[in-house]
Amino acid sequence: MKLSVRWSIEDIEALAVSRTLESPPSPMILAVKKPDYLGTSQWDLRLGRKTIQAKIQDADWLRRFQAREEDVRPGDALECMVVVTQLYGHDNELVAERFAVVTVINVLRNQYTQAQLFGDGED
């Protein structure tokens, strides 16, 4: 076995995956945990209590966001259309799930301040 061979994560994943299912775009509200301000990498978002990574594929909206025409901060949410891709292994178990935001419909601002959530200390 040659130990100097380098495999990409995509190549390794392809060996483990026997079937891929992709949903049609579905409406979702995803809370923003960590936006990507610089490039086109994945955003950290929350779907319920689960943290997910999703790529924003809505190029027009992403351009506006990076030009500071769209204001999105952690705690805000994105009302969007999302494609979910599920990768299944040879044992028919879910190996991975990928999320892609194909359209951002609206930015939902966080309406609560920290004082409202935890009390301002005055009783």
Residue 3 pLDDT > 80:
no
- pLDDT above 90 as % of the chain: 64
Could you tell me which of 74, 122, 72, 81 has the C-alpha nearest to residue 101? Answer: 81
Give the pLDDT confidence score for residue 113 in this predicted structure.
60
Residue 122 pLDDT > 60:
no
At residue 115, φ and ψ (nearest 5 deg) are -60, -40
Concatenated DSSP letters of 12-43 = HHHHHEEEEEEPPPEEEEEEEEE--SSSS-EE
Domain span holding position 49:
18-106
Is pTM beyond 0.75? Reply is yes
Residue 116 pLDDT > 90:
no
Please state the domain count of the chain.
1
Tell me which of 16 and 54 has the higher pLDDT: 54
Structural domain contains residue 112: no
Which CATH number do you get for residue 34? 2.40.50
Q: Per residue in 22-58, pLDDT tens?
A: 999 999 999 999 998 887 789 999 999 999 999 999 9
pLDDT-derived band at 16, boundaries 50, 70, 90 = confident
Structural domain contains residue 12: no
Burial class (CB in 10 A: 0-12, 13-18, 19+), 43: buried
Q: In whole angstroms, what is the distance from residue 87 CA to residue 99 CA?
A: 12
Residue 117 pLDDT > 70:
no
Compute CA 53 distance to the chain's CA centroid, rounded to the nearest angstrom: 4
Structural domain contains residue 111: no
Q: Per residue in 62-85, pLDDT tens?
A: 999 999 999 999 999 999 999 999
At residue 72, φ and ψ (nearest 5 deg) are -130, 130
Structural domain contains residue 56: yes
